Chain A
């Protein structure tokens, strides 16, 4: 595939992520902060998000396996996940966290279990999509082109 085709593919892919509600305006903000002094800024922040989210999702899974469930601690963890997903513009994950917190507050185990599965699912999707997008960007750079805004 030639450079122009790659660039077009990236723009279409990115646009679809916004249209389908995977990303919101905050992701655009992140991109606007990236410059020549910090060319990997977005990748760095998103990588931090991946690490942080996986840690939190593991802890939430463990929390729900306990004999006595610590809903307060779980709520704090979901709050963290909600915050970080909001900060990078991971729209669907953020929205699910709001629902998840309601179940924590209501101390509803079934609700929490269901939510956790949904959050894990949505997180998996956005992770795959962002990684695909970064790969496309790298292909463009390798071909000597620049990333279209």
Chain B
């Protein structure tokens, strides 16, 4: 299973008290950064997207298919996941603040993924659909399907400010 995480803390032995504190600090810092789930069947585009997002200080998890994305979100075998209220936007302790998905993917397409997400407990997480093709009917279909944004590939650093806007919007209101 190809699952790339930008940050991965692997502990094989019992950490010393000082290390424990460092690890907790690191985890806290991670929790404060926005976490983006990126879905694309192209290995090149995944690498590019990961770099673009990390260059903007986001935490990134890349998956290679719609199915893998659904699996990550716990939506694969349930129509409505039995998730506790506290884990609504969390997976394995990590929140997901934004989902970016390619439109044309074999199997579960970006649009299929969008609809599944919007019909689930993850519906409040903004979804951005990306495509290399500028097809107006495709764009309106995605926006009507609940996508917050439709972006043309290849993405550039200058496109990321659009993403930031959606991420900031998704912050809980006090």
Per DSSP, are chain A's interface residues mostly helix, strand or loop, or mixed? helix
Chain B: interface size category: 10 to 19
Identify the closest chain A residue to B156 (Cβ).
A29
A83 and B45 within 8 A (CB): yes
B157 and A84 within 8 A (CB): no
Chain A: interface size category: 20 to 34
B156 and A45 within 8 A (CB): no
CA distance A45 to B51 in the complex (A): 11
A48 and B132 within 8 A (CB): no
Asked whether B141 is an interface residue with its Cβ less than 8 Å from the other chain, the reply is no
Identify the closest chain B residue to A79 (Cβ).
B104
Q: Which residues of A contact B (CB under 8 A)?
A: 26, 29-30, 32-33, 38, 41, 44-45, 48-49, 52, 76, 79-80, 82-84, 86-88
A and B contact pairs by CB, cutoff 8 A, 20 listed: A26-B154, A33-B48, A33-B51, A33-B52, A33-B157, A38-B51, A44-B47, A45-B48, A48-B43, A49-B44, A52-B42, A80-B42, A82-B132, A83-B44, A84-B42, A84-B44, A86-B132, A87-B42, A87-B48, A87-B154
